[in-house]
Chain A
Amino acid sequence: MGEYEIRDPIYGFITFDEWEREIISHPWFQRLRRIRQLGLTDMVYPGAMHTRFEHSLGVMHLVTKMFDSIMKNEENRKLLEDYFQYSGEDLNRYRKIVRLAGLLHDVGHAPYSHVSEQIMPKNTNTKKPFKHEDYTKAIIEGPMKRVIEANNHTKHFDISTKDITNIISGNPETPVGLLFWRVIISSQLDADRCDYLLRDSHHTGVKYGIYDLERLLNTLKLGVNPESNELVLGIKKGGWHVAESLIIARYQMFTQMYFHKTRRAYDYMIQQALKESIGLLPPPSLIEDFLELDDYSVWHCMRIKGSEWFTNLISRKHIRLLYETKEMPIESEEKMICRLKECLNHDNIWVWEDSQGIRKNWYSGGDDKEVHIIDKFNNSMPLSYYSTIVKNMYTPFMKIRLYVKYKDVKNAIKIKEGLT
């Protein structure tokens, strides 16, 4: 099987085989070259022009490194054999499925990544909005099925598209020995976040997201949760500082970049411009229509529509931050928010309160304190019991912000000053 390599700014080189090369070359995977990783973050950090394409390659690479690192440790292997009765054949197959799941996990992203999740339609069965994972499943099992399954190597590993989507979505019919590996695809310690922290830092030029990846890989360890008796993925006791630095990196990236006040303003504006130009996205059942949409095509739609939101967006007349609370608002700040909103409404000044969406935002998901530290007896203990810094980090983040339109800034500031 031929081996190919591609230069990557984070890992040096990423290698892949002929089969993976065909998948990567498929037009619907290539579409990820036209989906920016961080939406319009380049309006604040001009270097943030990287795409889901390179992130996906990075996750495939990193998830493989994590898999191999876990398996090279004898104690980890014993635990896995004890829990899931692994055979060598299973492992080769699982490794390949995990690798493909890492490669394809974001193939269903909509234009401008998470920004457009707000315009995903509702699933009539669940009555909940679709998620990008639903689109990912529809693409892998639909238009990409042929390139994944019609390959000799597929027959060799006996891997179907269902194997890949089952581990991405957590289907209960997945063999538990395979389902276990979901922890390195989507959890507090997964390849996704380990990649995006380093990649986003690199491209934006900020240094907050950097941590010692090699040390992290070398200290991955399995243990047993005493409450549930289930296997948990954690970090060896001796390496808990690297877990701490990962958590701090994530916190700083969140507060300094992902939740940057101007970045949030652009998120909101492009959401409004998208709503006005394309309305709701097609559901996963119309996947071919969905796949026609990428950053380029919806930009064109927004330009043709020429809404006020889009016009202001391209002339950098973005909505401006008028007032914000602390990360955990105090009572007087909450009162100020209410009074300000009342006064602005009274004067017919448009205002956007950025608070309700926080819970559902991808970057606030998870509880980092839950990363486990594993001792030599395979006992697990939360990181917050080792690290005073992590213990005292105040999560979740509940900052509330009020924004006004560019044209109203002066009047809004006067109103605010009248209240303080």
Chain B
Amino acid sequence: MNWLLEEAEIISLFVRKISEKNPEHQIGKTIIQKMMYLFEIEYNNKYEDQKQYDFDYTLYHYGPYSFEINQALNMAKNMKFVSITWNPEKGYFIKPRTINIENQINENMDQIEEIVEDLVNGYGSYYARELSIIATAIYVKQHNTDIHDDDLVEIVAALKPKYNVQSIRRILIDANIINH
């Protein structure tokens, strides 16, 4: 089965789970990008000896971004797993369309669901801007595993100059990325 369809199925699962947890929450492309980034890391860490995901994320000034995931989201729309609309004041709104995908695409769906569930519980209530800060911090940590909390806050603050250091620190503490 095509990889893009598999990824589209995971995306639609995220959209469905976040919508169930918080129906009013705006799920835009930023949320999908960052959630899938967190998914790749969580899944690959937890199931180290199994299939490893590689969505090809690289860092831009707006945080980690994958062109492949954008394609997969497009696929999810084309397959009618999700709907995507644009609000000029708020940006994209992605909503679930299909409750259950008729023929399950991913073979490891139980494992995927478990990870998605955990991520939605942990990060599903964050807005795009906060999630972008969290994903950027995790990206920095992935590239420098020994980094101290203060240094991490400083690097993220340098990458997100529109936010002050205190608010970045607060978000990262709340998301359990740093301790203090």
> A230 touching B71 by the CB < 8 A rule?
no
Contact with A along B132-173 (1 / 0, CB 8 A): 100010011001100000000001001111100000000000
Interface centre among A85, A128, A169, A367 (most CB of B within 10 A): A367
> B60 touching A182 by the CB < 8 A rule?
yes
A395 within 8 A of B: yes
B30 within 8 A of A: yes
A379 within 8 A of B: yes
In-complex Cβ contact of B60 among A84, A183, A381, A398 (8 A) = A183
A296 within 8 A of B: no
Contact with B along A194-233 (1 / 0, CB 8 A): 0000000000000000000000000000000111111110
A83 within 8 A of B: yes
B12 within 8 A of A: no
How many whole Å from A183's CB to the nearest CB in chain B?
7
> A171 touching B143 by the CB < 8 A rule?
yes
In the complex with contacts A83-B162, A128-B52, A225-B91, A179-B59 CB distance below 8 A = yes
A186 to B65 CA separation, bound complex (whole angstroms) = 11
A395 to B67 CA separation, bound complex (whole angstroms) = 13
B80 within 8 A of A: no
The B2-19 residues at the A interface (CB cut-off 8 A) are 2-4
A374 to B89 CA separation, bound complex (whole angstroms) = 13
Query: Chain A residues with Cβ under 8 A from B52's Cβ?
Result: 127-128
A127 to B70 CA separation, bound complex (whole angstroms) = 23
> A227 touching B30 by the CB < 8 A rule?
yes
Q: List the A residue with the shortest CB-CB distance to B79.
A: A328
A152 within 8 A of B: no
B interface residues, tally (CB under 8 Å): 44
> B161 touching A84 by the CB < 8 A rule?
yes
A356 within 8 A of B: yes
The A228-257 residues at the B interface (CB cut-off 8 A) are 228-232
In the complex with contacts A169-B58, A359-B2, A367-B70, A176-B92 CB distance below 8 A = no
> A226 touching B88 by the CB < 8 A rule?
yes
Q: List the A residue with the shortest CB-CB distance to B28.
A: A227
How many whole Å from B98's CB to the nearest CB in chain A?
17
A173 within 8 A of B: yes
Contact with B along A166-193 (1 / 0, CB 8 A): 0001111101100110110011100000
B54 within 8 A of A: yes
> B91 touching A226 by the CB < 8 A rule?
yes
A232 to B65 CA separation, bound complex (whole angstroms) = 13
A46 within 8 A of B: no
> A379 touching B155 by the CB < 8 A rule?
no
> B158 touching A366 by the CB < 8 A rule?
no
Query: Chain B residues with Cβ under 8 A from A187's Cβ?
Result: 60
> A228 touching B132 by the CB < 8 A rule?
yes
> B86 touching A381 by the CB < 8 A rule?
yes
> B136 touching A172 by the CB < 8 A rule?
yes
Pairs of residues from A and B, 10 with the lowest C-beta to C-beta distance, nearest first: A227-B91, A170-B59, A367-B70, A230-B62, A227-B28, A170-B58, A366-B67, A226-B91, A180-B61, A172-B140
Residues on B close to A: CB < 8 A? 2-4, 26, 28-30, 44, 52, 54, 58-62, 67-68, 70-71, 73-75, 78, 86-92, 128-129, 132, 136, 139-140, 143-144, 155, 158-162
29 contacts between A and B (CB under 8 A): A169-B58, A172-B136, A172-B159, A176-B158, A176-B160, A179-B61, A182-B60, A182-B61, A226-B88, A226-B89, A227-B26, A227-B28, A227-B30, A227-B91, A227-B92, A228-B91, A228-B132, A359-B4, A365-B67, A365-B71, A366-B71, A367-B67, A367-B70, A367-B73, A369-B74, A370-B29, A379-B88, A381-B86, A396-B71
